[in-house]
Amino acid sequence: MYLAKIYVTYKPSILDPQGEVIKSALKRMDYADIQQVAQGKYFEVKLNAKDVDTASSEVKSFTEALLINQNTETYRFDLSLVEDEVEA
């Protein structure tokens, strides 16, 4: 079984108001060196696939179909082989 860790962020051209608000809060908390904050989304998806290439194309397919909106978001992901969980 594969574990996909998928990181979704706004494209650089998109204003990220939540990131901006967090940044201004951090500034108020005297973290003066903060330059930029981007808020994104993180997904962990476990899937069965016969090999890493199949897993990779599957992740790409469902991420673009549902997890992101391509108008404004982009993504990257890491794949790793994990042991199947023992059924209870």
Partner 1 sequence: MKAAVISFPGSNCDFDMLYALKDFGIDVQIVFAKENNLDEFDAIFLPGGFSYGDYLRTGAIARFSPIMSAVTKAANEGKLIVGVCNGFQILTEAGLLPGQLLVNKNPGFICEEVPLKVVNNNTNFSNAYSLNETIMIPIAHGEGNYFADDEVLTELENNHQVVFRYGNNPNGSLNDIAGIMNEKGNVFGMMPHPERAVEKVTGNIDGQNFFKSILSGILNQA
Rounded to the nearest whole angstrom, what is the least distance from the CB of residue 24 to partner 1 in the complex? 11
Rounded to the nearest whole angstrom, what is the least distance from the CB of residue 40 to partner 1 in the complex? 12
DSSP notation for 30-75: T-TT-------EEEEEEE--SSHHHHHHHHHHHIIIII--TTTEEE
Q: Return residues touching partner 1 (CB under 8 A).
A: 14-15, 17-18, 21, 41, 66-67, 69, 71-72
Q: Which is nearer to partner 1, 47 or 67 (CB)?
A: 67
Rounded to the nearest whole angstrom, what is the least distance from the CB of residue 67 to partner 1 in the complex? 7
